[in-house]
A and B are shown apart, each in its own frame.
Chain A
Amino acid sequence: MKNTKKIAIILNIILKIAMVIGIGILLGLWEILKLLNIKFDLLVFLIYPAGILFLGLVTRFIKLFNQLKIENPFNHNTVKYLKQAMIISTSISLIIFIALLLAIFMYPSYTLTLKISLTFFTILFIGVGIALYLLSELFRQATEYKEENDLTI
């Protein structure tokens, strides 16, 4: 249990650093694109909603790791954060899928590598969403069982 808490603390710190870097990238994206000489089109614009949602996903993971630090992680808050993370992950996959469609039909000049990457990330975030949904359902049932057990006199 002590090791689990240590891992949770380390991952929490890593996620917080990722969060700061992510905010920095989003704020400076305009300048980065200028430096790299990339034209600002609809596809690039989709980075913003996806990035904001990704930061939302990171905050949910930070909250989930905070839950691991407390005595009883089987509570309704954990279930709530898992469900929120699931919704965010699915939304990100939807945005990436829209970006993929745009890359195929509106901007065929984009490289095949980018299109393959977009396909990979669409599948990845759908997979994460499904995994989070399963986990949230498991945690919901575990929370209910624990409540029932705690209230057995």
Chain B
Amino acid sequence: MAIIVNLDVMMAKRKISSQELAEKVGITQANLSILKTNKGKAIRFSTLNKICEILNCKPGDILDYEKEEEND
């Protein structure tokens, strides 16, 4: 996936634990872990909105794009 989730970095900056963030956003810790480990296929705007609201950041702070290398 070319989209990278940098949630760990922002969580460390805001000194918030996974459990606390999951509770505040209203998702399970398992789903938060899926997001953090880049295993998620998609993120709802409502979830992204809550994460940004709680971490006081912009979507660009937690989402990044890296061009995938083409295998010839």
- Looking at chain B, what size class is its interface with the partner chain? 10 to 19
Contacts of A147 in B (CB 8 A): 41
Question: Which A115-153 residues sit within 8 Å CB-CB of chain B?
Answer: 147-148, 151-153
Question: Which B20-66 residues sit within 8 Å CB-CB of chain A?
Answer: 27, 31-32, 34-35, 39-44, 47
Extra contacts besides A147-B41, A148-B41, A152-B44 (16): CB < 8 Å:
A148-B42, A151-B34, A151-B39, A152-B40, A152-B41, A152-B42, A152-B43, A153-B27, A153-B31, A153-B34, A153-B35, A153-B40, A153-B42, A153-B43, A153-B44, A153-B47
Contacts of B47 in A (CB 8 A): 153
Contacts of A151 in B (CB 8 A): 34, 39-42
Q: Which residues of B are at the interface with A, using a C-beta cutoff of 8 A?
A: 27, 31-32, 34-35, 39-44, 47
How many inter-chain residue pairs (CB < 8 Å) link A and B? 23
Contacts of B39 in A (CB 8 A): 151
Bound Cα distance A151, B44 (Å): 11
Bound Cα distance A152, B39 (Å): 10
Bound Cα distance A147, B40 (Å): 10
Bound Cα distance A143, B31 (Å): 19
- Looking at chain A, what size class is its interface with the partner chain? under 10
Bound Cα distance A153, B21 (Å): 14
Which single residue of chain A is at the shortest CB-CB distance from B47? Answer: A153
Q: Chain A nearest CB: distance from B15 CB in Å?
A: 22
- Most B CB within 10 A of own CB, among A147, A151, A152, A153: A153
9 shortest interchain CB distances as A-B pairs = A151-B41, A152-B42, A148-B41, A153-B31, A153-B40, A151-B40, A153-B35, A153-B43, A153-B47
Which single residue of chain A is at the shortest CB-CB distance from B27? Answer: A153
Q: Chain B nearest CB: distance from A150 CB in Å?
A: 8
Bound Cα distance A151, B32 (Å): 11
Bound Cα distance A151, B31 (Å): 8
Which single residue of chain A is at the shortest CB-CB distance from B39? Answer: A151
Contacts of A153 in B (CB 8 A): 27, 31-32, 34-35, 40, 42-44, 47
Question: Which A67-109 residues sit within 8 Å CB-CB of chain B?
Answer: none
